[in-house]
Structure 1
């Protein structure tokens, strides 16, 4: 797991830009504290920060082929690298025991076709010194990031959007991206970066760059449902493939831990790891007073994780500990969160991710996470609600309600973005004409927008602490099978993730296997602290947010002592995030 940075220009003056690229690399130092590398010729400057998981002594990047034709900068893990290495051994004189060299060899031998052979998470760029051409690619779900910028005849790229900021004179906010963030935060920050002029390489896509320009195309195949398989066959196959995925996720020269909520997904990973002979250290977030909260009032956090996690870890024989953040540090944590997440923190649960990653990084370099299970296995409650899935606007109304936008920016903001998402699903081949069509369309949005935001957050908060997040549910073989499961089976008997629950039978305690989906916890006691922090921002720096948010209305709500509901707390959180993000990154706001 690493950080990439680089610059390509075809006028032969790339070496004059080395200092700019070094500044980009330094901005992402947290992604790879183990080593730094730099390479350049007349047309390209490539830089790298390394977090060493395999063969720490060797495998430095940028990595060159023996004939010096190809130069690679790579971020990720190819879990089937050992098998690919055997396939490539007849064509390539391997010098390291890293998956990095396997990626380089695979591209040199197979070209673009290498992508469909990779099982893992990745973002990389290969520079062809003979043809002065660049080739870049990103994994099918977008677990690993790749952002780029074209300006003045230059192509610049990095792992994080803020990594490109040293190459820009004065970063400006992408207003459309900020509006989406404020109205539909869980769908935001993935279609386009928050900084104007930048772009993400979309998940499952590749990029080619030469003197004639830049071309994007999709490499990842779309898999359709398979109605022929029986539920029992699917459950057995899913169990086997997940077990293999967990074994692959444990491959490293360093210990691999687990973020452990006591929910279905993370506990299944823990149970399969234990069956494979591993005992990953498990970490559970625990906030003060969380056991006394009335979860009937909560939108997506359905229960307290701690008792489930304690019970599951005891039954499975896994070492586990609680991570208990201090509420007194909230103001500092909010600022730190905005500095880390260049896509803007979307929800309070990112504080939990931050605390878990910081605690894990004191003794681990990698953790497994349960991300992507819900989004690829029909795991959300609203999928069972005909009204919620009848139009994307209804999901926005349920989860974000009133965004407190400044008057005149958007008429009917929830309906506006509901229409945007509806059109996206239609353009992808879905429809809203029948109950079955609406269900599939909503699931498509969950997978292609919501999931991308979750994966971005998982990467950005873990890598902020030099910690790799491994995602067994993004394993290629697991994804291939999950994509064939029709919703009738995935939601069988009105239960979300029905096939995944069936595949888990016997692998974890029944109380956990049948536990209702509950989101990562947030500190339920932070409401008044959030309101106080917004008061301070409004008193000292209101101009920074006044172009987007209704400041007088925020002032009235902050002065009103009545308790904040969950939607209002979310507005307070995003107000803090927006103000800190703009200030920390020096962004010109409207």
Structure 2
């Protein structure tokens, strides 16, 4: 198991006793005393705070974690801040505790059978045991193809469980139980006297989260788009590194092939990113082509390092190109802002529905006035948003269809085989979701953001694969637990003050980011020229669908005829329609990566 998980040649530490074997390598730690043993993979960001609470200074992180466990038991995880996966063996109680932090960038899996517990940070560690089968769970594949939230413990493999982010698993006497130690739904609403106080609170929390992810001696890089999340992270990181005479290498993916901007979208983020980089002399700005390598070559590499289907096929090309260049430059860390949309730059888009949900008449009218004045929304658009909340889902969808704005359905964005979906028993849930979690949360802003956070476990798989492939530690300040809790506590009005979407981050970053970025209302379109690489891959894509027909399970769960039909109907590189994004970026690409995952598990990818 240890060999299967090892990224590079290095020392593997461990502990053994009481029929228990623990192994830690590649930067993980193992520590023990007479009462307990611990393995910890990750980063602890609040060591001084824990030392103050314990009233003692520990010689190292391992000793501190043991002391925290002896003081607080399994509740110790509520005191730990950082990205981590942790396992504790209580020798006295003869019980194991397996836990992960809420940020979802560290994974932890386990299997129980015949009174035995196996656990590892990646599933391949479990599969290194010859008696652990690799059998795909069809229900989880159906849920993934339909973009449904999965059950917390389950993975794509029967008998393999995951420790969900922010949870702890207790195993004793051959049985396990699951408890959620992180309770974000209980975070109280924050009431501050001035709008400026919220801005200062957000800026301070994000600055601290960035600082915690920059360690002495590390070479730091960052993703830098033209949006607000990665730009805010990069700006704060550059400012902190400059004080130490250190540099930040910022990477921006950009199209080589010109692509016209569309309504509410801009297609080249390089000019905005370049203006951000120009503000900070210690930023080395690196341009990466969106189509740096063939699509299927990028998938081949990424899939070798992951035990999970790749989520986004076309984005893998430029993401891996950034990681390869970061490795070539010998960077250690890559900062990103991937969870910003649900934390620091949340749009406040549920404000109107939230006021309606609370039956707040005055608040509803204020929200409408702000949407008209600061948001530039039409009366028809506001009415449609209100109808989506007030009317039964089927009725609001019917009205939109009559107006020529039919919402997407499960068979629009998914190439799941209809018979397979029917047998899974998920048809009603998939139709209700319609690809949008808002259909489930119905105006509850906090529930929506938490639902999105719960559905981001693929980030951990991607981050672990990035460590394996490129030796890079991906760190995301926007998924820092303190940042998440602060953003959940801030009243929704602050995120859309005056009707301006993402108002809070725009105000908090004033003076740190250029006005062209702060005032941009459009969204940047990632890999706007993806059609070029897709068209170049067309012969290989046809061959891939042909190979999927040889797989019994892929033929059962995927609508391969539709996949062939989509390739036959390919509109070409010049098509600017939104329909292509649904057909090819969603339905075809997700079915493609699911099928390749199935063939790999079956042993059919050569």
Q: What is residue 48 of structure 1 aligned with on the other side?
A: 24
Q: Which residue is 1:37 aligned to? A: 13
Structure possessing the higher radius of gyration over alpha carbons: 2
Q: Partners of 1:193 and 1:586 in 2: how far apart?
A: 17
Which runs of structure 2 are paired with 1:301-380 in the superposition (5 Å)? Answer: 302-317=266-281, 318-324=283-289, 327-347=292-312, 348-362=314-328, 363-377=330-344, 379=346
Q: Tell me, yes or no, if the aligned pair for 1:273 and 1:280 is still in contact at 8 Å.
A: no
Q: 1:61 aligns with which of 11, 29, 37?
A: 29
Q: Deviations over 1:328-348 (max 9, x none)?
A: 533221122223332311113
CA contact under 8 A between 1:344 and 1:577: conserved in structure 2?
yes
Partners of 1:485 and 1:183 in 2: how far apart? 32
Residues 31-180 of structure 1 aligned to structure 2 (within 5 Å): 34-51=10-27, 61-65=29-33, 67=34, 69-85=35-51, 88=54, 90=56, 92=58, 94=59, 96=60, 99-167=61-129, 168-180=131-143
Residue 530 of structure 1 deviates from its aligned partner by: 4.3
Q: Establish whether residue 404 from structure 1 lines up as the match of residue 415 from structure 2.
A: yes
- Tell me, yes or no, if structure 1 residue 465 matches structure 2 residue 466: no
Q: Is the 8 A contact 2:349 2:496 kept in 1?
A: no
Deviation at 1:209, TM superposition (A): 1.4
Corresponding position of 2:588: 572
Aligned equivalent of 1:25: 2
Say which SS state the counterpart of residue 480 (structure 1) adopts: helix
Call closer, same or farther: CA 1:241–1:558 in 2, change over 3 Å: closer
Question: Do the aligned partners of 1:339 and 1:581 also contact (CA within 8 Å) in 2?
Answer: no
Shift of 1:244: 1.9
Distance 1:325 1:372, change over 3 A: closer
What is the CA distance between 1:381 and its match in structure 2?
Answer: 9.1
Are the aligned partners of 1:172 and 1:195 in contact in 2 as well (CA < 8 Å)?
yes
Contact 1:431 1:441 in 2 (8 A): yes
1:446 equivalent in structure 2: 452
CA pair 149-439 structure 1, distance change in 2 beyond 3 A: same
Contact 1:421 1:445 in 2 (8 A): no
Change (3 A) 1:233 1:166: same
Q: Which residue of 2 aligns with 1:274?
A: 238
Q: Secondary structure at the match of 1:408?
A: helix
Report Cα offsets for 1:17-45 as digits up to 9, x if no partner. xxxxxxx3223223x66432343224222
- Structure 1: how far apart are the matches of 2:479 and 2:332? 19
1:581 aligns with 2:597: yes
The answer to whether the Cα contact below 8 Å between 2:24 and 2:30 also exists between their aligned partners in 1 is yes
Closer/same/farther in 2, CA of residues 87 and 519 from structure 1, 3 Å limit: farther
Change (3 A) 1:521 1:288: closer
Work out whether 1:419 is the aligned partner of 2:432.
yes
TM-score by length of 2: 0.79
1:264 to 189, 209, 228: 228
Cα separation, partners in 2 of 1:239 and 1:135, compared to 1, 3 Å: same
Contact 2:548–2:555 under 8 Å retained in 1 = no
Query: Structure 1: how far apart are the matches of 2:444 and 2:477?
Result: 28
Q: TM-score, normalised by structure 1?
A: 0.81
**In 1, Cα distance between equivalents of 2:189 and 2:435:** 22
Rate the CA distance shift 1:380–1:460 in 2: closer, same or farther, 3 A: farther
Secondary structure of residue in 2 paired with 1:119:
coil
Moved more, 383-392 or 103-112: 383-392
Alpha-carbon distance change, 284 to 520 in structure 1, aligned in 2, over 3 angstroms: farther
Contact 1:534 1:572 in 2 (8 A): no
In structure 2, C-alpha distance between the alignment counterparts of 1:243 and 1:206, rounded to whole Å: 29
Partner of 1:503 in structure 2?
A: 508
State how far apart, in whole Å, the 1-side matches of 2:491 and 2:435 are.
Answer: 21
Distance 2:205 2:308 in 1: 33
Superposition deviation, residue 463 in structure 1: 4.7
Q: Is the 8 A contact 2:104 2:459 kept in 1?
A: no
Corresponding residue number in structure 2 for 1:479:
484
SS in 1 for 2:408: helix
**Candidates 203, 206, 214, aligned match of 1:242:** 206
The DSSP-based 3-state class of the residue aligned with 1:533 is helix
Paired residue for 2:145, among 179, 182, 188?
182
What SS class does the counterpart of residue 24 from structure 2 fall into?
Answer: strand
TM superposition shift of 1:376: 2.0
The CA deviation at 1:422 is 11
- Matches of 1:302 and 1:131 in 2, distance apart? 58
Q: Number of residue pairs matched?
A: 539
Cα contact 1:123–1:146 (8 A) shared by 2:
yes
CA 1:287–1:314 in 2, change beyond 3 Å: closer, same or farther? closer
Residues 392 and 519 of structure 1: is their aligned pair in 2 closer, same or farther, counting only changes over 3 Å?
farther
1:147–1:161: 8 Å Cα contact kept in structure 2?
A: yes
* Structure 1 residues 533-548: aligned runs within 5 Å: 533-544=540-551, 545-548=554-557
1:399 and 1:491 map into 2 onto residues whose CA distance is 31
1:139, CA displacement in angstroms? Answer: 0.9
Please give the secondary structure, in 2, of the residue aligned with 1:371.
Answer: coil
Aligned-pair CA distance for 1:455: 5.1
1:554 corresponds, among 541, 550, 563, to 563
Contact 1:335 1:580 in 2 (8 A): no
Deviations 1:304-327 (A, max 9, x none): 222222221012221221234665
